Amino acid sequence: MERVGCEDRVSAVRKKISDEATLCDLAELFKVFGDGTRAKILCCLEVRDLCVGELAEILGMSVSAVSHQLRVLRSAKLVRGVKEGKEVRYALDDHHVMMIIECGLSHLQERD
């Protein structure tokens, strides 16, 4: 079998894909979404900004467990906290986070 155009296709794809470091960063980002608790927190914050205590109550978890997950989400730049007096109110970092969640949910609904 002749491989006509194969080298051109391979070359074209190599030019279009991101570099190795960027793809590794992307994989790490998706690992953060791979935890059910963090996914729930992100979905809650998609509805509205919330403080740790509110998230803990909604999820039926301890404040310390929610705080731990928020630290992971903050370090991945998926959520941000804004100090309001003694409390910190958490929100999705930007509209891209909401887009990732919505695309994932849409993909899951296609399978039904």
pLDDT at 38 over 50: yes
**Would you state the pLDDT for residue 35?**
96
Dump pLDDT digits (tens) for 66-110.
Answer: 999 999 999 999 999 999 899 999 999 999 999 999 999 999 999
Rounded to 5 degrees, what are φ and ψ at 90?
-100, 145
- Quick one: pLDDT band at residue 30, thresholds 50, 70, 90? very high
Q: Which residue has the tokens 């928020």?
A: 70
What does pTM read for this prediction?
A: 0.85
pLDDT at 1 over 50: no
**Would you state the pLDDT for residue 4?**
60
**Would you state the pLDDT for residue 7?**
85
State the Cα torsion 24-26-32-33 to the nearest 10°.
-140
Q: Which residue has the tokens 């989400």?
A: 73
Q: Reading across the β-sheet that carries 87-92, which strands appear in turn?
A: 50-51, 87-92, 79-84
**Would you state the pLDDT for residue 3?**
63
Residue 67: CB partners within 8 Å, gap ≥ 6?
52
**88: enclosing H helix or E strand:** strand 87-92
**Would you state the pLDDT for residue 70?**
98
Instruction: State mean pLDDT over 36-47.
Output: 97
